[in-house]
Structure 1
């Protein structure tokens, strides 16, 4: 049975089994009768899952509609390599036939093998300000995770820890930058009411060209230069070779960062293909020493500047607006800064960050965001502070331990 009707008991289940639908019935029937929790199993339900945020955030001045074509591709096994290696189940909440919420249960075998065998995720949570519906959605996701041996739920995670992570809990006064999470302020209340507690915070920092660099940055740049460290931009005409180098540096640089799961080449290649239309070579940097790449930095122009007025649609004139505006973008997001472990004591990270600031200034970038940085990553936070970054947003990863 695909739909769990609140107010109608399910058929009896095998003695001792964990009946997800019965659990949801007990949680919801006391409040309102007409709430259904529906696992997504058809194209129509998948479209409803993707469409919900566009309805929930209608009129929100800060929400940026993602391209609808990209949202559909996210759930295509052909187009999303990450989906092929994770176990995902999606759920919808319907009240009186209208979709009011959604959630996904996610099991990442790579995360389980690397960090915690009994861990799983919730993700893609969107909901009206309806605590009953939210609790029912979490109950459905948790019940599904339990059947797969999960006893520790973390989230929100948008499929993998290499994608959007965390719930926005502070900094609702500006729109999100490219590939950044966004949600309504009441979401934290819904998540916490469902039994979740904070696990880890992530920060976003603002930077402007007139901020200035700390004096220590100039000294570290001189020392790094004496040590043979140089910085260069990516070569666009060597796309394949440069991306293979970025892929290797990415996986090696972040291997010891909590929660990191290495990308496969297919996953990386898909992401690079998505960025190719709007990246700027001047904002993709390699640090080299002795002819060997030892670190990298990646910033992307904030394409949300152009997406905001499109409503998620490229037809009929969205393509034209993007093509005309791509080189007029005046904000950027500094997304990645990685250095190989054996070279971190040489000031390489500071040099990359300073060179990135210089490149952004030359391109006319007047506002940048450096994100997301784990709250316990003191070294990168020190680099950001030295470059004049100021914290403006906080994103929170939540957790809940499930009864055995």
Structure 2
């Protein structure tokens, strides 16, 4: 019997959005390295009322079906802030995006991408970037190397054959993102120790823990440094107040004061480093469900997490220091202090840094000097429409 024809429609009803969220759990069930995200968080991500990113973005979800079976999904979206940025930084006028791609087969993937492109053309977009799911700050890029181990918190994981499906749809890679891993039970090379020791003798430098009782104030300090430090980076889109509120709500439970450091020079905050215990280790057994007992298990874990892996998702030094020796010194000091805390207080043995842009030579050099190795590679693709 012939397969039912493929049909693609907007996922606008409650039932279709539920199906949109549910599909990856079926398609990835045979992948031991895929970590099922919490369904509640996935629902909030695609809900314009609960995701502050939609305050400056619009989008459309699509699902593909054969008969009564959902066989694919994709999102098409436009970030209006990204449209105002310089084209040489990746976005700019006429650039729309697609993401959240899942498909049973190559033909379904091509049909979904074509549908997303059609939606973007209808909004006068002339270029498509993907996959970006949904904000550049969430899960950008397709995993193209490193499928043999699970992702850390807030990183994506995709089937290896998606690369060929996307490239055969006419897309070419425009930006590569790396994550680096290291054994944090080992001390860093002697040169790092000498640089750190010199920094410790400098009375101008202070490296401090964040104060969680002043969460909003500390978040503003970090955000101000981030917006300055990253402003020239490819793909940078400033975080808006609604997004900051959402990120704060999401991350506050896994913020631990000794894992987030702020560097001050002459009393002024000039650098930061955020480290998070790998929440994926706790949620992986839950299969996306907080009920009936997932909530209790997660809350118990959060009281005093013991993890194998720590992830450094964000790090920055203000722009006017970035070409100086002090920038590397501050970075190494924060990394070393957090490394010690991660091992002593949380039992961690492994660190992951990233993502890092392929042209960010400053951060890549720091990763290499502390003996990190690339463990995952993500690709962002583009196509003229």
- Does 2:310 match 1:332? yes
The 10-residue stretch of structure 1 (376-385 or 353-362) with the greater mean CA deviation from structure 2: 353-362
Match of 1:75 among 46, 49, 73: 46
The question of whether the paired residues in 1 share the 8 Å contact of 2:275 and 2:313 is answered with yes
What is the match of residue 181 of structure 1? 156
Match of 2:213 among 237, 241, 252: 237
The question of whether the paired residues in 2 share the 8 Å contact of 1:207 and 1:390 is answered with yes
The question of whether the paired residues in 1 share the 8 Å contact of 2:306 and 2:348 is answered with no
What is the match of residue 360 of structure 2? 377
Match of 1:272 among 242, 248, 265: 248
What is the match of residue 89 of structure 2? none
The 10-residue stretch of structure 1 (300-309 or 239-248) with the greater mean CA deviation from structure 2: 239-248
Deviation at 1:359, TM superposition (A): 2.4
1:122-154 Cα offsets, whole Å, 9 max, x none, are: 1111111x1111111111110111122211111
- What is the alpha-carbon root mean square deviation over aligned residues? 1.6
Gaps of 5+ in 1: 1-30
Gaps of 5+ in 2: 87-91
What is the match of residue 17 of structure 1? none
Match of 1:147 among 110, 119, 122: 122
Deviation at 1:324, TM superposition (A): 2.3
Deviation at 1:33, TM superposition (A): 6.1
- Does 2:272 match 1:302? no
What is the match of residue 358 of structure 1? 340
The question of whether the paired residues in 2 share the 8 Å contact of 1:94 and 1:101 is answered with yes
- Does 2:81 match 1:110? yes
The question of whether the paired residues in 1 share the 8 Å contact of 2:260 and 2:274 is answered with yes
The question of whether the paired residues in 2 share the 8 Å contact of 1:92 and 1:103 is answered with yes
Distance in 1 (CA, whole Å) between partners of 2:155 and 2:358 is: 17
The question of whether the paired residues in 2 share the 8 Å contact of 1:92 and 1:101 is answered with yes
Match of 1:367 among 350, 354, 364: 350
Count of residue correspondences: 371
Deviation at 1:227, TM superposition (A): 6.4
1:318-364 Cα offsets, whole Å, 9 max, x none, are: 11211222322232111111000112211322322222222222222
Distance in 2 (CA, whole Å) between partners of 1:385 and 1:282 is: 24
The 10-residue stretch of structure 1 (187-196 or 327-336) with the greater mean CA deviation from structure 2: 327-336
Distance in 1 (CA, whole Å) between partners of 2:145 and 2:76 is: 25
What is the match of residue 226 of structure 2? 250
Aligned-partner SS, 1:328: coil
The question of whether the paired residues in 1 share the 8 Å contact of 2:229 and 2:318 is answered with yes
Larger Cα Rg: Structure 1 or Structure 2?
A: 1
Going from structure 1 to structure 2, the CA distance change for 1:388 and 1:211 (only over 3 Å counts) comes to farther
Match of 2:291 among 297, 315, 339: 315
- Does 2:372 match 1:394? no
Distance in 2 (CA, whole Å) between partners of 1:155 and 1:237 is: 39
Deviation at 1:158, TM superposition (A): 1.2
1:268-301 Cα offsets, whole Å, 9 max, x none, are: 1211111111222111110101111001000111
Aligned-partner SS, 1:49: helix
What TM-score does the superposition give when structure 1 sets the normalisation length?
A: 0.88
Distance in 2 (CA, whole Å) between partners of 1:316 and 1:270 is: 25
Match of 1:136 among 98, 111, 132: 111
Distance in 2 (CA, whole Å) between partners of 1:56 and 1:237 is: 42
Distance in 1 (CA, whole Å) between partners of 2:287 and 2:100 is: 19
Deviation at 1:170, TM superposition (A): 0.7
The question of whether the paired residues in 2 share the 8 Å contact of 1:65 and 1:312 is answered with yes
- Does 2:130 match 1:164? no
The 10-residue stretch of structure 1 (342-351 or 96-105) with the greater mean CA deviation from structure 2: 342-351
The question of whether the paired residues in 1 share the 8 Å contact of 2:95 and 2:126 is answered with yes
The 10-residue stretch of structure 1 (307-316 or 356-365) with the greater mean CA deviation from structure 2: 356-365
